[in-house]
Amino acid sequence: MTTVVREPAEFRRACDDARRASRRIGLVPTMGALHAGHLSLIDEASRRADFLAVTIFVNPLQFAPGEDLQRYPKTLEDDLGGCRRRGVDVVFAPDTGAMYPEGFQTQVSVAGVTKPLEGVFRPSHFEGVTTVVAKLFNLAGPCAAVFGRKDYQQWKVLSRMVEDLDMPIEVIGCPIVREPDGLALSSRNRYLSTNDRHRALAVVAGLRAAHDAWEHGERKPAVLESAAAAPVAATFDRIDYVAAVDPETFEPPATSPERLLIAAAAHLGSTRLIDNVVLGEDERP
């Protein structure tokens, strides 16, 4: 049975009870609008833990003014159905006041790895993410927490936070789940018109071009970056970045790297999409 709780204290109690019964807690933090990518995270958590906790909270702290906080899709009933079918034990779906009551003043902030890529275009974003996830970790006390690698930088930032703050949590990054035509699943895909959904494939074409070049032996980061950027530049309305960087630091890579992250963020109208591939590690997108 899936229990749905709204209050932080109830969520903590459910997790405390599970721990007392010697159950390993696996946590999947989400903002809802669950799709097959999220369900794959829940499946991964169920392989690593025997008490499954999912959180559904559209976290205002990680949205800057002018971003899509107000229109972020909210599909709670469907989400709960998906959680029930997956055998989730507890869903924590707080409202904003429960997470950030009056007087709330604390921010958790990670330095270095938050600064490049997303950090340039969304400077306050990761502080919002690390603050809310630190709160969720403190409430749940999970053994393992599972995130998607579509938000690759987020995964690394949270791994850094856990290591630096000695949180006894295994942070797992799961492979990107894609549509048959390659588009990475995202809650934001539902904003796309049919035409923009088609145009969005340019980012997949870019990542595939870089992947193919890598498979043919190309190792020069600048060449791989250009291969990825060309279709995006030709199709998207605006590019934030298409970058070839070191997959751990997000700094400029070695001249001939063993692994290389190609990460992209670009806009189609008012919709911002991100995607990535780690060359030398990931399958062809």
Which residues make up the interface to ligand PAF (CB under 6 A)? 29-31, 59, 62, 129, 132-133, 151, 154
With respect to ligand PAF, which residue has the nearer C-beta, 52 or 224?
Answer: 52
CB 157, CB 131: distance < 8 Å = no
Residue 198 among the catalytic residues: no
C-beta closer to ligand PAF: residue 106 or 194? 106
How far apart are CB 229 and ligand PAF at their closest, in Å?
25
Q: Which is nearer to ligand PAF, 125 or 211 (CB)?
A: 125
Catalytic residue among 38, 125, 198, 216: 38
Shortest Å distance, C-beta 129 to ligand PAF: 5
Query: Do 241 and 278 meet the contact criterion of CB atoms below 8 Å apart?
Result: no
Q: Of 26 and 29, which CB lies nearer to ligand PAF in the complex structure?
A: 29
Q: How far is the CB of 133 from ligand PAF (least distance, A)?
A: 6
Query: Considering the complex, what minimum distance in angstroms separates the CB of residue 30 from ligand PAF?
Result: 5
Nearer to ligand PAF, 62 or 189 (CB): 62
**What's the closest the beta carbon of residue 43 comes to ligand PAF, in angstroms?**
17
- Rg over alpha carbons for the chain, rounded to the nearest Å, is 19
Are β-strands 90-92 and 3-5 bridged in parallel, bridged antiparallel, or unpaired? parallel
Residues with catalytic roles: 38
